[in-house]
Every structure is written in structure tokens, then in C-alpha cells.
Structure 1
Amino acid sequence: MATTPRLLRILRRTLWQALPTVLAVIVIDFFLLRLAPGDAAEAFAAEAGSATEETMAALRDRFGLDQPLLEQFLGYLGNLAQFSLGQSPMYNMPVVELIGQRLPASLLLMGTALALALLVGIAAGALMAAVAGSWPDRALSVLLLLFYSVPGFWIGLMLVVVFSVTLGWLPSGGSGMVGAGLTGPAALLDGLRYLILPATTLALFYVAIYARLVRSSMLAVTRQDFIRTAVAKGLPRRTVLLRHVLRNALLPLTTVAGVHAGGMIGGAVVAETVFAWPGIGRLAYDAVLKRDFTVVLGILLLSALLVILVNMLVDLLQAWLDPRIEVG
């Protein structure tokens, strides 16, 4: 009965903390991007091969780049007040519509990668804690260190070489078979085949973090008095590990996973580029190259909102896992 008001207080606290964070993200991102060299007009001229001064002036006037910086910022705030992220000069379409086309693919990729990382990481960490000090523990530690140390783009390329080029089991890029017209289970299976390699590439780095975190947390919880009490009561070792040790060891994991869930867009840029996955990570990369800062600002704002939303969910999840957590 008392749980619901406590969760509401935690949610209200998180919302109040989110407001200044969003404002700071908007201001800092806008002015930092304006310090970057070049603009959309110069990107247009580079693609065309050349441009006169009159053409450059016309382009800057068309995109509003000739206005004073403060006036541009106020115009951006005006767009946000109308729930608009502005118009993309390079794609000639609203940024909201452009991001909306790419967002589902990115959410699918990041959600699958995070679920895979949590599943494999928790299982590996629990296994390592159960056999701590043995050769399987050391072997898994070396493998996890490899996942953590090797760059994501190299892992992606090696997966393509092994599973696409050598074995021919999985496609090397894209998000679905072009022109196949598949529906139902066939379309689902086809999409899964294209999803496996980029999701695995994105997940392996986080698997290493989660497995090591779960292992250390479980070993620390095992030394607590309430675990000794559970063992003294004669509870089976499996029950003690799963229902008592693992549940309490998941608290630090939820915090770390929450931070990663919001910041996965950075890692998704690599996976989406290597596998030509049509998500917002690849869109952000292309927008930076084309100096389309309106799109970049929209993606950065979306990333900040995603981090805040995930933090809210993490706060609620931790409060549910541990009833001792209260509003600070």
C-alpha cells in the first residue's frame, strides 16, 4: 500500500531534476555546435564542386545562417516551443519527420543489443561468481577482457568476415531484403537475420561490463549476514544464489545499464555504419559530415530525453527491488 506513494515521490523528484538538465543540454549543444568550422552552405558548395559568393550568400540566407547567433538561438527556442525541431537544410524536410523515419530501427537495434547484453552478462557473471577462482572463471575473464578491449568496428568487421563472407549464414548489411515483399513470419525472420550481427557487435562491449559487475556484486553480497542466515536455514544453494544473492546484486547493474541505455546511440553509430543499418546513429554521422547541425541538435536532444526517461525507469526499478530506497 505504501509502495505506490513512495514510487510517485521518486518519480516527481526525477522530473524536477530533469528540467534544468534539458535546458542545459539545449543551450550547451547549440552553442558548441556553432563553434564547429563550416556550415550547411559550405557543405552544399563542396558537393557541387564550386560556388560563387552570391550563391553562398543566398544559401546562408535561405537556411538562416546569416543571422546573428543569438537570433538563431531564439529562433531555435521558438521552434521547440511549437514542438518542432526545425527544417533540415540538407534533406529538405522537418527534422522530426526525418528522425521519426530512423528512430524505430535504432530503438530496435539498441533494445535488442541491451537485452542481449543483460541476458548474457547476468548469466556469465552469475556463473563466474558461482565458480570463482576456478579455471572457467579465469577463462571467461580473459574472454570478457577481449570483448572490452577490442574496438567495436573491428568486431563488426570480423563478424562480417566469418558469418557473411566465409560461412554465408547472415547478410553483411542492411535491415531487410530489398524488394522481397515478405509479410508475416517470413518478414520477421528476414529482419532477425539482418539484426543479429549489428546487435551482437553493439552488445559484446556491454556484456563484458555487466558480467564483471554481476560477478563482483554477487561475491560482495555473498559475504553479507543475511546470506549466511539463509544458508544456515538449510535453503538450497541454487535458491540462495538466485533469490537472495542475485536479486541484491542486480541493484548496481540497473544503474549502469540505465546509463548505457541512454548513451547507446554513440555506440550505435559504429554498428550502424559498419552494417549500413538505417538508424539515427548513422543519420547523426552523415549530418555531422554535411554540417547539418539542425539534425544533430535534434538527435542530441532526443538522446538527452532518452537518458532522462531511462533514469526515471531505473529509479523506479531500484525502489521496487530494494524497499529501503527512499527519496533523498
Structure 2
Amino acid sequence: MAVELRVFAGLVARRLGLLIALLALVFTVVDLLPGNAARSALGRDATPDRIAAKEHELGLDRPVPVRFWDWFSGAVTGDFGTTARGQSVNALLESKFPQTLLLASIAMAITVAVSLLCGLWWAARPTSAVSRVLQPGSAFVSAIPEFVVATLLILVFSLWLEWLPAVTFTDRSGYPASPQMLILPVAALAIPQAAWNLRVVRGAIVDAASAPHVENAILNGLAERTVLLRHVLPFALPTIATSFATSVGTLFGGALVVETVFNYPGMGAMIAGSVSDRDATLVAAVVALTGTAIMCVLLAADAVRAWVNRGRQ
């Protein structure tokens, strides 16, 4: 047990190190972009003296490593600082991140349900008509980018059929005014991920079912459901959990694009504006928040893998 805890602690330390390195890279890349946050905040008519004063106020005249360390020291305590326009980064994240989390969470739930059901059906009945459709169809759909899926959904369900709205409007709470406005953004995110994950589920189930202990269970006359739940799924679970965990990061990244297409009130427009304004503080805060969420999910998948492997010994 002590050895396993040390291994897991080392994995956590490596993941944290990678996240910190990514945040430092974000600061460096934003600094290398043409223009800076001071010019974007003051506008085109600002004089050189005003720009220089604003750069000093924002600390842009200091080296990037120094600025990153100052920001990171505050971020560790939960203070992400202020934007170049004087807005609280924490307040912006509190107002936008829940909407993005809602969108990604619903898409993830649909992805898990659809991929598990279809993947299990595909593995159990490989020669059925549904399976023959899933083989080429899932490969094709999983290769389509989210923004292409979003465009096609708008074309069909908004413009041609006029069933669903193509643009998201918010109520006083800041969330979509109608549940119908969530359908197309969620579908645009979930469709490619469900197609990819059902292939992973099917492959993991087939590989696990070919193990010798599964053949022995079948020869001993155990029911098909018992064999699946006790002897197949536990051994396929690490691969499935890792695939789902990877999809969390993909969904967050895809959500930023899909939100822009549907005018969804999440972090998509905010991150696009922060890059346009060369605001490294806001960009890094978004990366830190989403990166931490993704890291936690990946660690959960690692814990599932460790638990299953321990059960094999």
C-alpha cells in the first residue's frame, strides 16, 4: 500500500509540474504576440506616454518570469488577479465557468451513456445490422471537428426544419433562457466524442472477453450477464475510464469553439477576447481552471486503473 501511495503521489507531482509548465508557456506565448495588453486596453488613440504608463501599471515592463511568478503566487491562494481593463478575473470566471461546465457536463453524460450502450451492443452482436452501421459510421463521425458538427446542426435543425434556435439568449441569471437552447450545443460536443468512445468501449470489451478466465467462466455455465459484469467489464474498465477522462479535456476545448458558434454565454467569447487583448492573466486563469479540472479527472482514471490492476494480483 505504501509503495502504491508513493507511486500515485509521484504521478500527482508530475501532473502538477506539467500544468505549471503549461501556464508558464501560456504567459510566454501571449507575450510574444504582436501588441500588448496596455495598447488593447487604451485603444488606438492612446499616446506613447499613456501606453508606457499603462505598461508600468500592469507590470509589462518587467521580465516574463517575474510576472508569471507574481501571478502564480496569487493563483495558488485562489486570487487570479485583475485583467488589463481592471476587471476581477475571479469575478469573470465565476460568471462564465459554470455555464461552460454545465454544457460540458451534459455532453459528457450523454457521451458516457451512448458510448457504453452502443459499445456493449456492438461487442455483443458484432454481425448485427446495427454493428455494420456503427463500424464505418463511428469512424467517420469521430473525425469531424465540433465546429463542423455545430454548423451542420444549425443548417438542418435551425434553418431547414426550424425546430431549434441557432443562437443562445440568456435570462437574468446569465444562463440560457430556454432548455431548447442547450440541445444543439450539447449535441455538437457529444456526437464526435460518443462516436470515438463507443469504438474504445467496443475494443476494450472484445479484448477483455478474449481472456482465458472469461472462457473458463463461459464453460462453467455462468449466465451471459454474470460473465459480462464480473469477468469482462472490470478488466475493460481501465481503458474505458482513461478514454472518458481524455474526453473531458476534449469537451472543454471543444466547448470554447462551440460556444462561439452558438453565442453561448460561457468562457468561449471570454478566452477569445483575452487572446485578442493579449491579456496573459485571464488566459492563464482559464487554462489553470480547466487544466485543474482535467487533471483531477485523469487522476481519477489512474486511480481506477490502479484499483483494477491491484485486483488482478
TM-score (norm 2): 0.87
CA shift in 2, pair 1:120/1:61, >3 Å: same
The one-character-per-residue Cα deviations of 1:34-53 (angstroms, maximum 9, x if unpaired) are 222221123245xx443332
2:58 equivalent to 1:63: yes
For 1:128-143, list aligned pairs within 5 A. 128-143=122-137
Q: Are residues 1:220 and 2:217 paired? A: no
On the 8 A contact 1:318/1:325 being kept in 2, the answer is no
1:119 is aligned to 2:106: no
Residues 126 and 218, structure 1, Cα contact 8 Å, conserved in 2 = yes
- CA distance change for structure 1 residues 243 and 173 in 2, over 3 Å: closer, same or farther? farther
d(CA) in 1 for partners of 2:39, 2:223:
69
Shift of 1:300: 1.2
Give the Cα–Cα distance (whole angstroms) in 2 for the partners of residues 159 and 81 of structure 1: 41
- CA distance in 2 between counterparts of 1:305 and 1:195 reads 25
Q: What SS does the aligned partner of 2:311 have?
A: coil
Equivalent residues, number: 312
Partners of 2:242 and 2:301 within 8 A in 1 = yes
Q: Percent identity?
A: 29
Q: Is the 8 A contact 1:319 1:325 kept in 2?
A: no
Q: Secondary structure at the match of 2:164?
A: coil
Shift of 1:296: 0.2
Distance 1:80 1:216 in 2: 41
- CA shift, 1:148, in A, is 1.5
Contact 1:10–1:316 (8 Å) recurs in 2? no
Alignment-mate amino acid for residue 168 of structure 2 = G
Question: Which of 257, 271, 277 matches 2:264?
Answer: 277
Match for residue 27 of structure 2? 30
What is the alpha-carbon distance in structure 1 between the residues aligned to residue 7 and residue 181 of structure 2?
40
* Root-mean-square deviation over aligned CA pairs: 2.8
1-side partners of 2:251 and 2:108: how far apart?
9
Say which of 99, 106, 113 aligns to 1:105.
99
* Match of residue 291, structure 1, among 255, 258, 278: 278
1:28 is displaced (CA, Å) by 2.7
CA offset digits 1:125-171 (Å, max 9, x no partner): 11111222444322112221221122211211221222223333322
- Cα distance, 1:262–1:6 mapped onto 2, change above 3 Å: farther
* Paired residues for 1:6-17 under 5 Å: 12-17=9-14
- Deviation, structure 1 residue 228: 0.9
Asked if 2 retains the 8 angstrom alpha-carbon contact of 1:266 and 1:281, the reply is: no
8 Å CA contact retained: 2:200, 2:243: no
| Structure 1 residue 13: Cα displacement | 4.4
- Cα displacement (A) at 1:123: 1.3
8 Å CA contact retained: 2:201, 2:240: yes
Deviation at 1:198, TM superposition (A): 0.8
Return 206-215 or 17-26, whichever deviates more. Answer: 17-26
Gaps of 5+ in 1: 182-186
Contact 1:25–1:304 at 8 Å: present in 2 too? no
Q: Is the Cα–Cα contact under 8 Å of residues 115 and 195 in structure 2 kept in the other structure?
A: yes
Counterpart CA distance in 2 for 1:23 and 1:157 is 35
Per-residue CA deviations over 1:85-115 (Å, capped at 9, x if unaligned) read 121113x212122112111111111111111
Contact 1:284/1:295, CA 8 A, preserved across alignment? yes
- The structure-2 alpha-carbon separation of the partners of 1:310 and 1:209, relative to structure 1 and needing over 3 Å to count, comes to same
| Distance verdict in 2 for CA 1:6–1:229, change over 3 Å | farther
Q: Does the 8 Å CA contact 2:26/2:280 hold for their aligned counterparts?
A: no
Give 1:312's aligned residue: 299
From 10, 17, 20, the counterpart of 1:20: 17
Q: Which 10-residue stretch deviates more, 125-134 or 267-276?
A: 125-134
Moved more, 11-20 or 126-135: 11-20
Contact 1:265/1:281 (8 A) holds in 2:
no
Question: 1:146: which partner in 2?
Answer: 140
Paired with 1:43 and 1:163, the residues of 2 have a C-alpha distance of 38
| AA partner of residue 29 (structure 1) | V
Once residues 251 and 315 of structure 1 are traced to their aligned partners in structure 2, the CA distance between those partners, rounded to angstroms, is: 8
Alpha-carbon distance in structure 1 between the residues aligned to 2:222 and 2:76: 58
Match for 1:75 among 54, 70, 73?
Answer: 70
Query: 1:268 matched to which residue of 2?
Result: 255
* 8 Å Cα contact 2:30-2:280 kept in structure 1: yes
SS in 2 for 1:137: helix
